[in-house]
Chains A and B, each alone.
Chain A
């Protein structure tokens, strides 16, 4: 034995020390206590009032630090997510990281024509199928937002398309409480009952407060509906430093954290112990174009801080990575995807979405997902580290082979090369002549070709016919009841 010796060497990264965490946490509590948050929902105001919070004019609520501390203490530290078939697939908590897709992209780069066009329902189906196939994609999302479907039914149609085209957990959005109810009905159908869904959730709803420091009526209604059904919710703000939040990263982190923690307080007051994934994105507004930056370095720093904070709180934390500001699948998209995926994995965010996002959260392409999946494989190899046990150093082999010998034919190489070396599927390692012989394709061309191949050949496991029929009925019901109505905002 070798006391306290662990032979596995792994990269270790954090940006905040415990001292930093305490400073930021104290500042966050100060914001919640002195500035407060705006809550635009009556039920939301009531639960806060009942918990002893002070409600000022214009729906501003001051939340006392004791309530926040107590809430943090009681939130579940781990959430188990299942796939559509009831198999445990994600343990959200600690520093376990999972990667998946994002939602609501209004544009799609057409795989066959390379044209940038508006998204449609087939793009949602395609994304679900590609996501279902890719081994490094742990959960799916609509990716595209079907522009030909009316808004009141968009999210319901997306959810149905996802259920029908993948068994992986579904990360989803909704326009309001109105359509969310129908989506939950669909999930209950597939799970086989309310309690079954609660026991083995295969879906995570995404909803967000509005920076700075506001909870819209619609957001609170969705938050409460999920709390009531025990459906895991990801309630996280996306703040723009210099615009909807302070320009300094420290200020942005503090305000965004206040938004996230106040959301948790609301949620837990409604249903103590209900599953919630929290955290925040604090990115910058680009000061030349006024656009929202998805692939910038500041976002990586603030998100590293976010992960450190939520690991300290013991609350599952959401993340974003594999997203780019580039409008096409180019070198910039690869740079931003690769760095962000590496950083998100290093920081140990639990539920990392947005793989394959382009154009500042406006554009997607199944090809970008394929690239993201390969980057994740690469990054996982880095995170796995290496073992320096006596056996892995392999002194005997080194002695046997000796100077000038070769290690290719050793039994050790044969036995361990698959474990020790990661093998890319699409990245080029051919020599120049071989590369030319194989049609001198760029990485982008190979990835696009792969995406087309997946769509032509991959057959996701279908839903039982009876479920499909029930889903159709739910859609019909939704069409009737939601047609033309205005959702609460």
Chain B
């Protein structure tokens, strides 16, 4: 078995210790960082995602794999610049103002992170101003908002407006989610995307980032 096969298997199994060990070994053997990332870690998460879609893997399995992958990324991150690997896309996520429900938002954060994004998790009861400030500071490409209560859903609209007013309308894409949130609502408040579940949020985030890339080429 090649070291990449081992690495992929270890990520799938959520075996963080083994992932670290293998990456140390790969670096020692001068294997290209780009390959470790693309042919090892990211490929593994692709397999995990497929398994989840086929109901072979459950949410905890995906999260454990994600944790293992994240540990691996931390080891190779210092080399990204020198080998011209573009930094991972940054995502800001939080539960909107007035709402302290967190588990769904955290699930999305972990899933997104497990799929190769850099996530800034702002926690709960996040004011529009806080979102704006954080997006500005981090240079995030996507801002994700969560609400569990119908009474706190309007805060999503206020946050989107605040981002626009802060001059970030073109720079950041907005995504909304949470049990009572619907596609219809997302459109009404001018969000760029909505997903009914965590894995859908990952796919959507990838699509939004790709659209960025294409935009940049133009």
Which residues of A pack against B, CB within 8 Å? 404, 406, 408-409, 413-414, 417-418, 423, 430-434, 437
Contact = CB atoms under 8 A, between A and B. Distances in A.
Given A404-B102, A432-B182, A433-B196, A409 B61 contact: no
27 contacts: A404-B102, A408-B59, A408-B63, A408-B106, A408-B107, A408-B110, A409-B60, A409-B63, A409-B64, A409-B67, A413-B60, A414-B14, A414-B63, A417-B60, A418-B58, A423-B55, A423-B58, A430-B196, A431-B179, A431-B196, A431-B197, A433-B182, A433-B183, A433-B194, A433-B196, A434-B196, A434-B197
Contacts of A406: 102-103, 106
Nearest to A416: B60
B166 interface: no
B167 interface: no
A408 B103 contact: yes
Contacts of A433: 182-183, 194, 196
Contacts of B169: none
Given A409-B67, A414-B14, A414-B64, A437 B196 contact: yes
Contacts of B102: 404, 406
Given A409-B64, A413-B60, A434-B197, 18 more contacts: A404-B102, A406-B102, A406-B106, A409-B67, A414-B60, A414-B61, A417-B58, A417-B60, A418-B58, A423-B58, A430-B197, A431-B196, A432-B182, A433-B182, A433-B194, A433-B196, A434-B196, A434-B200
Interface residues of B, number: 21
A9 to B, nearest CB: 24
B40 to A, nearest CB: 22
Nearest to B184: A433
By DSSP majority rule, is chain B's interface helix, strand, loop, or mixed? Answer: helix
Contacts of B63: 408-409, 414
Interface string B1-24: 000000000000010000000000
A171 to B, nearest CB: 32
Nearest to A418: B58
Interface string B87-115: 00000000000000011001100100000
Nearest to A407: B103
B193 to A, nearest CB: 12
B107 to A, nearest CB: 6
Contacts of A409: 60, 63-64, 67, 110
B163 to A, nearest CB: 24
Contacts of A413: 60
A409 B179 CA distance: 21
Contacts of A404: 102
Contacts of B61: 414
Nearest to A412: B60
Nearest to A411: B64
Contacts of A431: 179, 196-197
Question: Which of A404, A418, A431, A437 counts the most B-chain CB atoms under 10 A from its CB?
Answer: A431
A434 B197 CA distance: 8
Contacts of B179: 431
A359 to B, nearest CB: 33
B204 to A, nearest CB: 12
Contacts of A417: 58, 60
A117 B105 CA distance: 51
A417 to B, nearest CB: 6
A145 B55 CA distance: 37
B14 to A, nearest CB: 7
B27 to A, nearest CB: 27
A432 B196 CA distance: 8
9 nearest A-B residue pairs (beta carbon): A433-B196, A434-B196, A414-B60, A431-B196, A413-B60, A406-B103, A414-B64, A406-B106, A409-B63
Contacts of B14: 414
Contacts of A430: 196-197
A275 B61 CA distance: 48
A413 B110 CA distance: 15
Interface in B170-218: 179, 182-183, 194, 196-197, 200
A430 B195 CA distance: 12
A237 B19 CA distance: 65
Question: Which of B64, B110, B179, B196 counts the most A-chain CB atoms under 10 A from its CB?
Answer: B196
Nearest to A435: B196
Contacts of B58: 417-418, 423
A101 to B, nearest CB: 26
A406 B106 CA distance: 9
A414 B183 CA distance: 31
Contacts of B103: 406, 408
B200 to A, nearest CB: 7
A429 to B, nearest CB: 10
Interface in B144-185: 179, 182-183
Interface in B106-143: 106-107, 110
A349 B186 CA distance: 52
Interface string B73-86: 00000000000000
A361 to B, nearest CB: 35
A406 B102 CA distance: 9
A434 B179 CA distance: 11
A437 B196 CA distance: 10
Interface string B43-69: 000000000000100111101100100
A250 to B, nearest CB: 49
Contact of A408 (B60, B196, B197): B60
A167 B63 CA distance: 40
Nearest to B124: A404
Question: Which of A414, A417, A423, A437 counts the most B-chain CB atoms under 10 A from its CB?
Answer: A414
B101 to A, nearest CB: 11
A313 to B, nearest CB: 44
A409 B60 CA distance: 7
A433 B186 CA distance: 12
Contacts of A418: 58
Contacts of A408: 59-60, 63, 103, 106-107, 110
A4 B106 CA distance: 43
A414 B58 CA distance: 9
